[in-house]
Amino acid sequence: MEQLNRIELRGNVGNVRVHRSDVRNGVSFTLATNFAYRDKDGSPNIETQWHNVLAWDGKNIQDISRIKKGDKVYVQGRMRYQHYTGTDGIDRVQAEVLASRLALIDDPDVLGVEM
């Protein structure tokens, strides 16, 4: 059986940090996605999830310097988990999306899907 590690997200950019080097430029940012539902009483609710995204300049990711807080973006990539020990000595795990495709969404019809 073939294994698959792929994630697609569409949401709003939060904090942005640009990484520059002699070889490649990158950007890490938080991405907010919302899930709307009604509870058992019929009251509408919105659940917001925050994701950490890391993207590097490349074939499907261009002009990452344009990404700013509040932008609507489409991200496709894979999940990666980083294990580290905090300054307090406790082992921690951080999940992040390594982007293989990144697109700014200026128009909700860009990807042929409803926002």
Question: Burial of 12 by CB count in 10 Å (0-12 exposed, 13-18 middle, 19+ buried)?
Answer: middle
Rounded distance between C-alpha atoms, residue 35 and residue 48, angstroms = 6
- Specify burial of residue 69 (Cβ count, 10 A radius: 0-12, 13-18, 19+): exposed
Q: Express each pLDDT in 57-72 by its tens digit.
A: 887 777 788 889 999 9
pLDDT of the residue at 115: 42
Ordered by start, the domain boundaries in the chain are 7-104
- pLDDT tens across 36-57, in order? 999 999 999 999 999 999 999 8
> Can you name the CATH fold of 7-104?
OB fold (Dihydrolipoamide Acetyltransferase, E2P) (2.40.50)
pLDDT tens, position by position, 63-107 = 788 889 999 999 999 999 999 999 999 999 999 999 999 988 875
pLDDT value of residue 46: 94
The answer, yes or no, to whether residue 29 has pLDDT greater than 60, is: yes
